């Protein structure tokens, strides 16, 4: 396969973001001729998602060229692992658990309340990219049902009337 120069690829994000990813890849010291280089792909994709927030096609193509592998290999890994996302996420990623315990305790009403207040549906991100909403199958904290997670913080026994305060807390946290 002929390797393209990553610098000549179409870039949709600021150069500083690509420089961070390149620094990470450089630190891995990957030899483009080494067939084991694919073993670093997940690490590179995780770092890419951390830096860029998600893995759109353009970034996947960049990673493929940077590692000297086919885009199909990168795309296959991205689509296989649930951790990876090809859609933008907000600064505050709201996940509402829809497992059985949470659902029977009103998780659907909580999700509806987040959607109403933020003006987006599950799977979408606000225009300012501050908030995104998703639903999960199970968080594994059934004794706290219904459960909402925002980034790494867990909120238990959430009621629809708590949603506005939770959103306000995020905005206050951002200002701090």
Phi/psi for 16 (5° steps) reads -60, -35
102 in a known ligand binding site: yes
Neighbours of 58 (CB within 10 A): 14
Q: Are 148 and 108 in contact (CB under 8 A)?
A: no
The residues, any chain, with a CB within 8 Å of residue 143's CB and separated by 6 or more, are 156
Sign of the torsion angle spanned by Cα atoms 94, 153, 136, 100: negative
Residue 139's nearest CA partner among 128, 129, 152, 127 is 152
Neighbours of 96 (CB within 10 A): 28
Q: Which 8-state DSSP code applies to residue 133?
A: E
170 in a known ligand binding site: no
Place of tokens 């639903």: 135
Residue list for the binding site for [2Fe-2S] cluster:
97, 102, 138, 142
Residue list for the binding site:
97, 102, 138, 142
């Amino acid at each position: 396969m002929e390797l393209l120069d990553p610098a000549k690829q179409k870039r949709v994000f600021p150069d500083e973001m690509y420089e961070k990813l390149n620094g990470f890849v450089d630190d891995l010291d990957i030899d483009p001729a080494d067939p084991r280089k694919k073993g670093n792909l997940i690490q590179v994709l995780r770092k890419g998602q951390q830096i860029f927030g998600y893995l759109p096609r353009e970034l996947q193509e960049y990673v493929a060229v940077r590692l000297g592998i086919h885009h199909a290999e990168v795309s296959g890994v991205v689509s296989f692992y649930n951790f990876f996302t090809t859609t933008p996420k907000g600064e505050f990623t709201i996940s509402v658990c829809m497992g059985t315990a949470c659902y029977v305790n009103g998780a659907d009403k909580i999700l509806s309340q987040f959607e109403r207040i933020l003006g987006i549906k599950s799977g979408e991100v606000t225009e300012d990219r501050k908030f995104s909403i998703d639903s999960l199958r199970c968080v594994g904290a059934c004794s706290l049902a219904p459960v909402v997670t925002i980034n790494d913080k867990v909120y238990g026994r959430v009621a629809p009337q708590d949603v506005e305060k939770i959103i306000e807390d995020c905005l206050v946290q951002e200002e701090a």
